[in-house]
């Protein structure tokens, strides 16, 4: 019988993983601390990388997203200098490996550094010369002494690299995801108290006094992850808790007619923006797994939202992990325990560098957009635009199929399975 996976957390990442495993006939149970499916926050932004991941997870997932999301070509994101800006990118001192890659740096940063963030390079964006492109972000100089209704963008960044640019209401998206999860596999009211590997099983104990067993555990329990504490060796260890990013945001409500009067109807049409201000930038995890216990999504790489890609990277995690876990339902000479250990190691090797790039790069972006870095500000808008486009190429242009192919080859190598030359 195939190994049974325990998924901790029924948020966006956990339910997406459940959909992926159900599609691959991998047995699992989801344990969620809340008494029912709930999600806080206003909206989630996705890009072409997330679109590719959704299609790999389950074709119907992509169809569902298209049905309930707001596509980027009918909305704009506006960022004002000196103020908190969402749906933006970040600066990283590194380069994209492979042919067609982009070398980027800021403040004299080296273009030597992280290779292979896209596992082979950036995919073509599919945009022809002279085509009118949907806008990903407009950067407005909010310090300019100009009537806001007449303020022209300092620069624009196009939404490139194919389909998938859009946003969806978080609660609505979770509702749709839960509707795709098979009945009877989610247990609510299960707040995790402890995890421990005992023999060939992982024993889970919950605060209601119950316990369960699984062959492996995948923590999808978000920024306050209990599973992450186990992976790093205890709640007192570095990486067990997220750290304050040093940023905060003001949110307020004003009458719509007043907003239209002050800044114009087009800019008031921008949908709500979400900010997550705690991350793992200060203490990146040295590993995403320990034995047969793994963390993915925000539990592994919580980031601030300056790339507009946190949720999309969670989708990538699910696509890669579920593709590797398919090995559990194949005829093989390896035991489930051996396969799970190799899967988690291969996943860590495939995802951790890219995921942690996002965390560090997103933190830096806040300083970029608030003009807190040398080489930013009113005299440097063109350099800022190029910097942003380079960062978004790393996020959006990933060749996920190639990344999965590489991870599968790594898995077979760890299991001693011959590969074709």
Asked if the structure places residue 420 within a domain, the reply is no
With DSSP H G I counted as helix, E B as strand and the rest as coil, what are the percentages for the chain, rounded to 5?
40, 15, 45
User: 345 in a domain, yes or no?
Assistant: yes
114 inside domain: yes
pLDDT at 280: 63
Backbone angles phi, psi at 73, to 5 degrees: -75, 0
Q: Which domain holds residue 161?
A: 5-415
Angstrom distance (rounded) from CA 87 to CA 180: 28
Q: HSE-up of 301 (CA within 13 Å, CB side)?
A: 31
Separation CA 256–CA 242 (nearest Å): 36
User: In this predicted structure, what is the pLDDT of residue 158?
Assistant: 85
Angle at which helices 381-396 and 48-57 pack, to 10 degrees?
A: 10
Does residue 85 belong to any structural domain of this protein?
yes
Determine the 3-state secondary structure of 382 from DSSP. Answer: helix
pLDDT on residue 247: 60
The reply to whether 275 falls in a domain is: yes
Q: What pTM did the predictor assign? A: 0.81
What is the model's pLDDT at position 269?
56
Length of the chain: 421
Question: What CATH number does the domain containing 112 carry?
Answer: 3.50.50.60
Output the tens digit of pLDDT for each of the chain's 421 residues.
679 999 999 999 999 999 999 999 999 999 999 988 776 666 788 999 999 999 999 989 999 999 999 886 534 444 444 433 333 333 233 333 322 222 222 222 323 333 345 554 455 554 444 456 778 888 888 888 888 778 888 888 888 888 888 889 888 999 999 999 999 999 999 999 999 999 889 999 999 999 999 999 999 998 889 999 989 776 666 665 655 556 656 556 667 787 777 766 655 555 444 444 556 667 788 999 999 999 999 999 988 787 788 899 999 999 999 999 998 888 778 899 999 999 999 999 999 999 999 988 888 877 778 888 888 888 899 988 888 888 888 999 999 999 999 999 999 999 988 766 5
Maximum C-alpha span of the chain: 71
Residue 366 included in any domain:
yes
Query: What is the distance, to the nearest Å, from the Cα of residue 296 to the centroid of all Cα atoms in its chain?
Result: 9
Query: Is residue 273 a part of any domain in this protein?
Result: yes
CB atoms within 10 A of CB 205: 14
Q: Please report the pLDDT score of residue 117 as a whole number.
A: 58
Overall number of domains in the chain? 1
125 within a domain of the structure (yes/no):
yes
């Amino acid at each position: 019988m195939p190994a049974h996976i325990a998924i901790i957390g029924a948020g966006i990442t956990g339910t997406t993983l459940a959909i992926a495993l159900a599609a691959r006939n991998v047995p699992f149970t989801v344990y969620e601390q809340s008494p029912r499916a709930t999600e806080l926050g206003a909206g989630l932004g996705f890009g072409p990388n997330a679109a590719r991941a959704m299609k790999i997870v389950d074709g119907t997932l992509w169809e569902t997203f298209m049905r309930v999301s707001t596509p980027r070509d009918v909305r704009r994101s506006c960022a004002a200098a000196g103020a908190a800006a969402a749906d933006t990118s970040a600066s990283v001192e590194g380069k994209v490996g492979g042919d067609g890659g982009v070398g980027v740096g800021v403040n004299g940063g080296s273009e030597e550094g992280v290779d292979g963030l896209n596992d082979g390079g950036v995919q073509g964006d599919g945009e022809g010369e002279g085509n009118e492109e949907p806008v990903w972000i407009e950067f407005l100089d909010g310090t300019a002494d100009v009537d806001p209704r007449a303020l022209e963008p300092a620069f624009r960044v196009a939404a490139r690299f194919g389909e998938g640019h859009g946003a969806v209401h978080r609660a609505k998206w979770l509702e749709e995801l839960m509707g795709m999860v098979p009945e009877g596999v989610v247990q609510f009211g299960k707040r995790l108290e402890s995890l421990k590997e005992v023999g060939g099983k992982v024993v889970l104990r919950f605060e209601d006094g119950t316990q369960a067993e699984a062959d492996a555990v995948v923590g999808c329990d978000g920024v306050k992850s209990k599973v992450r504490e186990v992976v790093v060796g205890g709640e007192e260890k570095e990486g067990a808790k997220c750290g304050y990013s040093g940023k905060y945001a003001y949110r307020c409500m004003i009458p719509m007619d007043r907003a239209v009067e002050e800044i114009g109807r087009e800019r008031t049409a921008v949908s709500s923006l979400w900010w997550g201000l705690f991350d793992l930038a200060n203490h990146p995890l040295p590993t995403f797994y320990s034995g047969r216990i793994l963390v993915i999504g925000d539990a592994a790489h919580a980031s601030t939202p300056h790339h507009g890609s946190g949720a999309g990277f969670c989708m990538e995690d699910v696509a890669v992990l579920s593709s590797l876990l398919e090995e559990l339902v194949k005829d093989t000479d390896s035991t489930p325990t051996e396969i799970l250990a190799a899967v988690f190691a291969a996943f860590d090797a495939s995802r951790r560098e890219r995921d942690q790039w996002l965390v560090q790069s997103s933190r830096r972006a806040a300083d970029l957009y608030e003009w807190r870095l040398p080489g930013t500000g009113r005299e440097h808008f063109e350099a800022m635009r190029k910097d942003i486009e380079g960062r978004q190429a790393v996020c959006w242009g990933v060749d996920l199929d190639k990344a999965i192919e590489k991870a599968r080859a790594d898995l077979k190598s760890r299991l001693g399975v011959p590969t074709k030359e």
